[in-house]
Structures are given as C-alpha cells and as structure tokens.
C-alpha cells in the first residue's frame, strides 16, 4: 500500500484505520505474528489501542495516514473491516471500490487498477534483475483485474 499511496497521494486522500487486533496474544495468536514480532494483547482501552498503532507506524516506518477506530469499533462495523479490508470512497462520498475481507481476498492491486483507471497509470522503471543488488518488482505494481464498483447501500 505504501507504493500505491506514494503514487497517488496527489490525486486521492488515503487513510489506514486500525481496528481491533485480528490475532491478539490473549485470544487467537498465530505463529506468523510471533515470527514477524507482531504480538499484542487485545487492547481494552483507547490508550492501549493508540499505543499499539504508534508502535506499528514507528517500527514499520508506515507513512500512509493512520487513524484508530474507537473502542465501540464504529469504523469496523460500518465497513466490515475486520481483519483487513480496502475501500475507495469517491469524491461524492460513495463507495467506488469495496475489496474483499483479508487476508485471503485482500488485493491492493485492485486499488491500484481503480486509481489508474481514474487518474492514469503510474509506471516505475524496472530494475534489471541480472545486475547485483537489483530488487524484484513489487507485488502491488503487478497488473490487476478490472476494479469493482459497488453501490454504498449494497451489502456483500
């Protein structure tokens, strides 16, 4: 998402909203969380949730604008956002794109395709992978399927 944000931040506003923990240490801890050192108990207060959000953005140098859902989980409920989901709200306040629930239906490349259709494709020069130190192409720079358009009153 960072690359998409950097490519389109002059055309669109971005916001990541931290909702309740998907795999907290005191509920459903995953081995992948331990491996990636992303181990938090489910926050019981807004202060705890803010602490986790601040830790995340600092440790991972996350530059996309970041918000935190309140303890009533209003954003999560309004957008069916748990454990993760992507939306595009157009300039008229309507849902232009509603992604599937992550992690299995979480496709940032669809967001890129929607933004490219609206604002033009942003291309990045590919590095020659035969040269030492060359980085592979990033996953969200890959071609994507056509973007989804959804009416805001349609439930999925």
Q: Which CATH number goes with the domain that contains 71?
A: 3.40.30.10
pLDDT band at 132 (very low <50, low <70, confident <90, very high): low
Residue 85 lies in a domain: yes
Torsion angle, alpha carbons of 137, 33, 7, 68, to 10? 180
Residue 146 lies in a domain: no
Residue 147 lies in a domain: no
- Helix/strand number for the chain, H first, E second: 5, 4
Contact of 147 with 91, CB cutoff 8 Å? no
CB-CB neighbours of 110 under 10 Å: 22
Contact of 20 with 71, CB cutoff 8 Å? no
Residue 155 lies in a domain: no
3-class secondary structure, 27:
coil
Residue 6 lies in a domain: yes
Percent of the chain's residues with pLDDT above 90: 40
Tell me the backbone φ, ψ of residue 123, rounded to 5 degrees: -105, 150
CB-CB neighbours of 126 under 10 Å: 11
Confidence check: pLDDT of 57 > 80? yes
Range of the domain at 97: 2-141
pTM greater than the 0.85 cutoff: no
Q: How many domains does the chain fold into?
A: 1
Each as own residue / partner, the long-range contacts of residues 134-139 (CB below 8 Å, 24 or more positions apart, any chain) are 138/3, 139/108, 139/109
Residue 151 lies in a domain: no
pLDDT digit string, tens, across residues 75-103: 999 988 877 789 999 889 889 899 988 77
Residue 134 lies in a domain: yes
């Amino acid at each position: 998402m960072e690359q998409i944000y950097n490519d389109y931040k002059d055309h669109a506003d971005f916001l990541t909203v931290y909702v309740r923990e998907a795999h907290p240490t005191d509920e459903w801890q995953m081995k992948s969380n331990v491996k990636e050192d992303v181990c938090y108990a489910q926050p019981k207060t807004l202060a705890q949730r803010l602490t986790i959000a601040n830790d995340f953005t600092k440790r991972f140098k996350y530059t996309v604008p970041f918000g935190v859902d309140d303890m009533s989980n209003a954003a999560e409920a309004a957008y069916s956002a748990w454990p993760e989901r992507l939306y595009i709200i157009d300039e008229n306040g309507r849902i232009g794109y509603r992604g599937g629930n992550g992690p299995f239906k979480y496709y940032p490349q669809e967001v890129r395709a929607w933004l490219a259709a609206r604002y033009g494709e942003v291309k990045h020069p590919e590095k020659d992978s035969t040269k030492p130190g060359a980085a592979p192409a990033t996953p969200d720079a890959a071609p994507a399927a056509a973007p989804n358009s959804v009416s805001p009153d349609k439930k999925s």
